[in-house]
């Protein structure tokens, strides 16, 4: 028996085992945070599900503190119009009010829905609004048909959504005038390509979606649309557009946090793109059992794909390589193990080889 026949499958097994050097359970990420404990005690409870926090007289966080994702969409109000930034996690109990119905309790202005991105936990009640305003990207424009857009299963990382009426398309750098309040529109790929961030320069507030949030770490860069190079470039861009007094409002966990969290994320992303990360391979509660790479600094966790960066990991070439490796491994195991097992069984049964 040639030595290489044993060495190849053993090497593959050792490489895989190295990825599982430490598995972090959800409790290790969340610490002592419990569902229902990540919003202001001054919030008003609605339907025993929503916890509406008044940030100021024109800004409201509509928290879902009992959802598995700890979502806080935002109602941003001007003198003539309002923005609903995200549309709920999809976990609200049957019979509870929709995100739109809750928002309408806090403003009589026409509400425009803007999605921070297309993942399943931000889009549930999108069809309850008159229409959705989408970020202007070629791949999005190409899929607007008959004035509607359908969020695919790949985009939602779940199931295909019903078609959504497209109310408008806005581009990176556009300014939305709500009447006495203006919001800069930023398209900041990284978490996803369509990630939208809204900047209120006068109030010095930034609504970040999933681009960055403070939820005991857990920054996700392992979805099919994630891009670490873009993430770093756009975190630097957001730093340049903000200052030490800027308040940030993310789409998970604690609704508000300071610029120091963005500085920390930018620094850790810098280590990754410069080829100087300190990766561990760990599990994540969204996909337990898979050895994701994680870059950690204190309570900042940046999760990304195993072994290679997301664009390559999710490419057809990776699928082909993995299929090839599995085929080779099975073949080698067959060639190595089968000749050992069959004679042993024949010996126990008293049958001579060849009969």
pTM: 0.84
Q: What are the structural domain ranges in the chain?
A: 26-312
User: What is the rounded distance in angstroms from the CA atom of residue 72 to the CA atom of residue 52?
Assistant: 9
Give the chain's end-to-end CA distance (angstroms, integer). Answer: 23
The pLDDT value given to residue 14: 43
> Positive or negative CA dihedral for 164, 168, 230, 297?
negative
The token duo for 181 is: 């309040």
**Cα 239 from chain centre:** 20
User: What is the rounded distance in angstroms from the CA atom of residue 19 to the CA atom of residue 76?
Assistant: 43
Which of 25, 135, 125 is CA-nearest to residue 67? 125
Measured between alpha carbons, how far is residue 52 from residues 46, 234, 275 in Å? 8, 30, 42
Helix, strand, or coil (residue 288) = strand
Other beta carbons within 10 Å of 192: 25
Is the domain 26-312 a CATH 3.60.15.10 member? yes
Per-residue confidence in pLDDT tens, the chain, 355 aa = 343 344 444 444 445 555 555 555 545 554 554 555 566 777 899 999 999 999 999 999 999 988 888 889 999 999 999 999 999 999 999 999 999 999 999 999 999 999 999 999 999 999 999 999 999 999 999 999 999 999 999 999 999 999 999 999 999 999 999 999 999 999 999 999 999 999 999 999 999 999 999 876 679 999 999 999 999 999 999 999 999 999 999 999 888 899 999 999 999 999 999 999 999 888 777 777 788 899 999 889 999 998 889 999 888 777 677 677 778 777 776 676 656 555 655 555 555 544 3
The pLDDT value given to residue 61: 96
């Amino acid at each position: 028996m040639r030595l290489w026949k044993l060495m190849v499958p053993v090497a593959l097994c050792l490489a895989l085992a190295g990825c599982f050097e430490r598995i972090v359970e959800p409790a290790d990420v969340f610490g002592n945070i419990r569902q229902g404990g990540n919003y202001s005690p001054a919030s008003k409870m609605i339907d025993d599900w929503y916890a509406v926090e008044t940030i100021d007289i024109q800004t409201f966080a509509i928290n879902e503190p009992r959802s598995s994702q700890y979502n806080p969409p935002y109602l941003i109000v001007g003198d003539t119009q309002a923005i609903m930034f995200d549309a709920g996690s999809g976990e609200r109990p049957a019979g509870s009010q929709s995100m739109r119905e809750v928002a309408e309790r806090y403003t009589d202005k026409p509400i425009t829905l803007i999605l921070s991105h297309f993942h399943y936990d931000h889009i549930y009640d999108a069809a309850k609004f008159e229409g959705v305003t989408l970020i202007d990207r070629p791949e999005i424009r190409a899929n607007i048909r008959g004035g509607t857009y359908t969020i695919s299963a790949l985009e939602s990382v779940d199931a295909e959504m019903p078609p959504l009426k497209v109310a408008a398309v806005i581009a990176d750098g556009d300014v939305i005038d709500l009447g006495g309040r203006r919001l800069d529109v930023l398209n900041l790929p990284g978490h996803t390509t369509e990630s939208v961030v809204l900047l209120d320069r006068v109030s010095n507030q930034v609504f970040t979606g999933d681009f960055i949030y403070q939820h005991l770490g857990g920054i996700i860069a392992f979805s099919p649309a994630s891009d670490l190079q873009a993430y770093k470039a756009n975190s630097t861009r957001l730093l340049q557009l903000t200052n030490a007094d800027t308040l940030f409002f993310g789409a998970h966990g604690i609704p508000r946090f300071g610029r120091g969290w963005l500085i920390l994320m930018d620094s850790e992303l810098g280590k990754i793109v410069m080829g100087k990360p300190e990766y561990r391979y760990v599990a994540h509660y969204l996909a337990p059992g898979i050895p994701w790479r994680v870059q950690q600094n204190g309570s900042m966790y940046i999760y990304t794909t195993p072994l290679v960066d997301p664009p390559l990991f999710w490419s057809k070439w990776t699928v082909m390589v993995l299929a090839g490796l599995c085929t080779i491994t099975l073949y080698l195991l067959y060639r190595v193990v089968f000749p050992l097992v069959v004679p042993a069984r024949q010996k126990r049964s008293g049958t001579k080889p060849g009969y």
